[in-house]
Structure 1
Amino acid sequence: MPQTVLITGCSSGLGRATALDFARKGWNVVATMRQPDGNSDFAGLDNVLVTELDVEDEGSIQGAIDAGIGCFGAIDALINNAGFGLFGLFESTPVEKIQQQFEVNVFGAMATIRAILPHFRFAKAGIIVNITSGAGVFGLPALSLYCASKFALEGFSEALSYELASLGIKVKIIEPGGVLSTSFGKRSGDEAAGNNSLPDYAAFMAHTATLFDNMRSGPMGTEEQVTECIYTAVTDGTNQLRYVATDDIMPLIHARRETSETEYMALMRSFFAG
């Protein structure tokens, strides 16, 4: 019997690409999104169920899980992909936007996991994949709130992995860098509107914008690299927790995890001192 994966945030970007990748490789896919009406990306694919799931609505989460089990008999893996990034100054970001950043990126992932766990516990098996970011490993200016949400998801995922291991349930973390082919950057830019209005930060923000532009002009990851990494994490049969999905962030990953705190902070401050 083919296995089944439920993926959040499939209307575009990495979620859409991951759903299509799993479907092509013979998996049943529950492709969820906030507004599935009119989405034709999965038309004609008999092994894909498109259904509504808003990670801020617990009723829709349970409804999507029930629909997936009803259609395919079971769900074997959950991929928490839904999320967005706030770009801008912390001081000028509205409180409601800060709350939404955590509601979607952290509490939304927690809600989907809590809803699927009874099904996984009954099966004594299951795989949970949480998409974090390089920004969940190292801090970046003007992304403080996005970093905070992804650092939180990293810590939660690691701690949860210990709790669930005794039940045969695995937790995996995928850490992508920048992927130009997705709409993530555009949404981050849209969310930044009005968040950079304090003149005292103007010189620093200009310097930071130049650094990010230079980073984007260099080699960056691709959707294919990330989807292949996700597929590997789900199917490799190991207990590996973290997977770095794209090579563009490897130098900073190395600096954070394999050098001293003094060396790491000196490197980062050399970039962002302005």
Structure 2
Amino acid sequence: MISKVWFITGSSRGIGLEIAKAALTAGDRVVATARDRSSIPLPSDDRQLLMLDLDVTSPGQAETAAQAAVERFGQVDVLVNNAGYGQLGTFEEVAVEEIEAQFSTNVFGLFNVTRALLPVMRKQRRGRIFNLSSTAGIAGSPGASIYCASKFAVEGFSEALAAELEEFGIDVTIVEPGPFRTNFLDDRSVRHAAASIADYAQASARRKAAYDARNHSQGGDPANLASALLSLASSGDAPLRFAAGSPAVELVLKKAEGLLTEVTRFRELSVSTDWQ
């Protein structure tokens, strides 16, 4: 089997790190990136591995990293857009600057890296893109409106991108993890709104307590998710959306059922808006 070349953002910890480990173990080659490559806990002398500095919010760094990947390995077969963080807080409490920072990483950062690597994949006429969304990209949650908005943006972008790239043999899969046992709820990966509004204080405190209680005890195993993505990368029948973990599967099914119920209930009124 010919080894693949993986390009992974956010490789210093969590899901990104586990995907890099799994790909290396499978004999594939990996371009592992992080804001500071020295933070990636992988052996720097591994000839299958190239570690690069990459701040995804910088289009120039994305272009440089893509060029370095091709110079080293000659191709990129799988792109994993994993870098991101969660901005929590009710909408009114999250400052404009915090919203812009969230979209700069979770949305525009993903755009930057994808734009840098698409010419490589189009030239090859093959490729697989895994865009890390979340169950927050399927259903909105109170206290996470901005994070949800960023992941809903990833979902819509990815769905349209998949249709644009189909003719070039490039496939897109949106990965929707539920709660996974990573450091996502640590201060390095989640940010809470700097402002506080009294009317929201009690509900915000309850949500934060629930997040803190769940931290590092989530039911999802990042290593198992990495293994699943390796399987999907080799599949000719990978889905557009992949719900990761039991809670994610249940949430997606509930959302689909709710959409069907709602559109059916209001169908007569909906179609009445057609030109008569």
After TM superposition, give the deviation of residue 190 of structure 1 in Å. 5.5
After TM superposition, give the deviation of residue 228 of structure 1 in Å. 2.0
Distance 1:145 1:165 in 2: 30
Distance 2:205 2:83 in 1: 30
Give 3-state SS (helix, strand or coil) of 1:166's partner: helix
Are 2:197 and 1:198 aligned? yes
- Asked whether the 8 Å contact 2:177–2:244 carries over to 1, the reply is yes
- Match of 2:240? 241
- Asked whether the 8 Å contact 2:176–2:248 carries over to 1, the reply is no
- Asked whether the 8 Å contact 2:174–2:242 carries over to 1, the reply is yes
Offset from partner CA, 1:116-141 (integer Å, 9 cap, x none): 11111111111111000011001111
1:64-103 correspondence to structure 2 within 5 Å? 64-103=65-104
Stretches of structure 1 lacking an aligned partner (at least 5 in a row): 264-274
Distance 1:217 1:119 in 2: 38
Distance 1:205 1:259 in 2: 26
- Asked whether the 8 Å contact 1:128–1:171 carries over to 2, the reply is yes
Are 2:170 and 1:169 aligned? yes
Distance 1:260 1:5 in 2: 36
Offset from partner CA, 1:142-195 (integer Å, 9 cap, x none): 111110000010011001100110111111111101112x22111377611524
Distance 1:213 1:247 in 2: 21
Q: TM-score, normalised by structure 1?
A: 0.88
Distance 1:56 1:219 in 2: 29
- Match of 1:5? 6
Are 2:185 and 1:185 aligned? yes
After TM superposition, give the deviation of residue 219 of structure 1 in Å. 5.9
Give 3-state SS (helix, strand or coil) of 1:86's partner: strand
1:1-274 correspondence to structure 2 within 5 Å? 1-37=2-38, 39-180=40-181, 182-187=182-187, 191-192=191-192, 194-195=194-195, 197-209=196-208, 212=211, 220-260=219-259
- Asked whether the 8 Å contact 2:232–2:238 carries over to 1, the reply is no
After TM superposition, give the deviation of residue 207 of structure 1 in Å. 4.1
Are the structure 2 counterparts of residues 54 and 189 from structure 1 closer, same or farther at C-alpha, using a change threshold of 3 Å?
Answer: closer
Are the structure 2 counterparts of residues 260 and 53 from structure 1 closer, same or farther at C-alpha, using a change threshold of 3 Å?
Answer: closer
After TM superposition, give the deviation of residue 208 of structure 1 in Å. 3.5
Distance 2:106 2:177 in 1: 15
Give 3-state SS (helix, strand or coil) of 1:11's partner: coil
Distance 2:239 2:19 in 1: 20
| AA in 2 matched with 1:245 | A
Are the structure 2 counterparts of residues 44 and 56 from structure 1 closer, same or farther at C-alpha, using a change threshold of 3 Å?
Answer: same
| AA in 1 matched with 2:35 | R
Give 3-state SS (helix, strand or coil) of 2:79's partner: strand
- Asked whether the 8 Å contact 2:179–2:247 carries over to 1, the reply is yes
Q: TM-score, normalised by structure 2?
A: 0.87
- Match of 1:271? none
After TM superposition, give the deviation of residue 106 of structure 1 in Å. 0.7
Distance 1:203 1:40 in 2: 39
Are the structure 2 counterparts of residues 4 and 45 from structure 1 closer, same or farther at C-alpha, using a change threshold of 3 Å?
Answer: same
Offset from partner CA, 1:55-95 (integer Å, 9 cap, x none): 11111111111111111111111110000000112112121
Give 3-state SS (helix, strand or coil) of 1:30's partner: strand
- Asked whether the 8 Å contact 2:183–2:216 carries over to 1, the reply is no
Distance 1:60 1:256 in 2: 38
After TM superposition, give the deviation of residue 239 of structure 1 in Å. 4.6
Give 3-state SS (helix, strand or coil) of 1:244's partner: strand
Per mean C-alpha deviation after superposition, the further-off stretch among 205-214 and 150-159 is 205-214
Distance 1:260 1:77 in 2: 33
